C-alpha cells in the first residue's frame, strides 16, 4: 500500500538526505545544507493504519509530525457529529503549522490518517531550534505558511460561494497542483485515495451529491477516477468549471 503512494515500503528509518521528499518539507533547506541536524532531531518514525487518529482537537501537542507517506486530513466535528474536513495532507506536509509557529497550542482541529501513513516525528522545541535561520529556510517557512493560509482562505470562499461542481473542480485542481509539485503525480493523473465521503466532508456536501456531481464530470469526460486515482481528461474545461461555477 505504501508502495502505491510511491515513497517507501520499509519500516527502517532512513536519513533525511536519502528521503525523496525532504526538499519539499518545511525544513527542506535545512536538510539540504545540513541534513544530519534534522535526522538527529527526529524522534521516531510512526506507522499508522488507515483511519486512525493522529492528534485530537484540543490537544496541546509538543510533537511535530511530517508525513513521509500516505494521506491524512485535518477536520473539525460539530456537536452532533457532522464533520468538516479542513485540509488534506499529503507526503511532505506538516501536520500542524500552528505548532511550528507557537507552541504548545490547543489544536483547533483533529488530524486523522486517510490511508496508512508513515510519520516523522520531532519534538517541537528542539526542532524549531534546529531550523537554522538561513534566508532560504526562512523563505521556505514563510512560503509554505503563506500557501497554507491562502488555501484556507480560498476554501472559505469556495465553500461559501461556489456550486458543487465548482467546489469539486477546485479541489481536484488544488490536489493536482500539490501532488504535482512534489512529484507524486502529474497534471493528467495523480493519486487520490480518499473515499467520496471524505470529499463530501471537505466540500460541505453529502456523499450522494458528490457522487452525482463526480459522475456528471465523468460522463462529460472531464475527469475519470477510481478508488485510488484521479485522471484529468480535459484540463481546460475543468479550469473553466473551477473558475466560473
Partner DNA sequence: CGAGCTCTTGATTTCTTTCAAACCGTGTGG
Partner DNA sequence: CCACACGGTTTGAAAGAAATCAAGAGCTCG
Q: Closest distance between DNA and the C-beta of residue 214, in Å?
A: 6
Measure the CA–CA gap between 127 and 64, rounded to whole angstroms: 8
Q: Closest distance between DNA and the C-beta of residue 160, in Å?
A: 9
Regarding 150 and contact with its own copies (CB under 8 A), the answer is yes
Note whether 149 and 156 are within 8 A (CB). no
Residue 117: name its binding partner from DNA, its own copies, none (Cβ under 5 to 8 Å by kind): none
The grid coordinates listed for 148 are 497554507
Q: In sequence order, which residues have a C-beta less than 8 Å from that of residue 141 and are 6 or more positions away? A: 26, 100, 131
Regarding 140 and contact with its own copies (CB under 8 A), the answer is no
Segment interacting with DNA, rule: CB under 7 A, options 14-22, 163-171, 174-182, 233-241: 163-171
Q: Which residues in 4-33 contact its own copies (CB under 8 A)?
A: none
Of 107 and 217, which CB lies nearer to its own copies in the complex structure?
A: 107
Q: Closest distance between its own copies and the C-beta of residue 64, in Å?
A: 16
Of 89 and 200, which CB lies nearer to DNA in the complex structure?
A: 200
The three-state secondary structure class of 223 is strand
Measure the CA–CA gap between 28 and 92, rounded to whole angstroms: 9
Measure the CA–CA gap between 185 and 13, rounded to whole angstroms: 24
The three-state secondary structure class of 4 is helix
Q: Closest distance between its own copies and the C-beta of residue 175, in Å?
A: 17
Measure the CA–CA gap between 174 and 190, rounded to whole angstroms: 11
Q: What is the CA radius of gyration of the chain?
A: 18
Regarding 79 and contact with its own copies (CB under 8 A), the answer is yes
One residue of 76, 195, 212, 239 binding its own copies per CB under 8 A: 76
The three-state secondary structure class of 166 is helix
Chain residues binding its own copies by CB under 8 A are: 76, 78-80, 82-84, 86, 98, 101-102, 105-106, 108-109, 141-142, 145-146, 149-150, 152-157, 159-162, 203-204, 243-244
Amino acid at each position: 500500500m505504501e508502495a502505491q503512494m510511491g515513497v517507501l515500503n520499509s519500516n527502517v528509518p532512513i536519513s533525511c538526505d536519502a528521503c525523496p521528499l525532504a526538499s519539499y518539507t518545511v525544513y527542506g533547506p535545512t536538510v539540504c545544507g545540513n541534513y544530519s541536524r534534522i535526522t538527529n532531531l527526529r524522534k521516531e518514525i510512526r506507522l499508522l493504519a488507515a483511519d486512525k487518529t493522529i492528534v485530537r482537537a484540543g490537544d496541546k501537542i509538543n510533537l511535530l509530525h511530517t508525513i513521509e507517506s500516505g494521506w491524512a486530513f485535518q477536520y473539525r466535528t460539530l456537536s452532533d457529529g457532522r464533520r468538516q474536513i479542513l485540509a488534506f495532507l499529503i507526503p511532505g506536509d506538516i501536520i500542524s503549522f500552528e505548532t511550528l509557529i507557537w507552541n504548545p497550542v490547543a489544536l483547533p482541529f483533529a488530524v486523522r490518517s486517510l490511508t496508512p501513513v508513515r510519520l516523522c516525528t520531532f519534538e517541537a522545541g528542539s526542532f524549531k531550534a534546529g531550523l537554522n535561520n538561513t534566508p532560504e529556510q526562512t523563505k521556505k517557512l514563510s512560503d509554505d505558511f503563506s500557501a497554507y493560509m491562502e488555501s484556507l482562505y480560498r476554501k472559505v470562499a469556495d465553500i461559501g460561494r461556489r456550486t458543487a461542481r465548482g467546489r469539486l473542480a477546485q479541489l481536484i485542481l488544488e490536489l493536482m497542483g500539490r501532488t504535482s509539485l512534489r512529484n507524486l503525480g502529474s497534471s493528467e493523473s495523480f493519486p487520490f485515495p480518499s473515499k467520496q465521503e471524505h470529499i463530501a466532508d471537505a466540500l460541505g456536501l453529502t456523499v450522494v451529491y458528490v457522487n452525482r456531481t463526480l459522475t456528471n464530470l465523468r460522463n462529460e469526460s472531464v475527469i475519470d477516477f477510481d478508488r485510488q486515482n484521479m485522471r484529468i481528461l480535459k484540463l481546460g474545461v475543468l479550469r473553466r468549471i473551477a473558475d466560473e461555477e
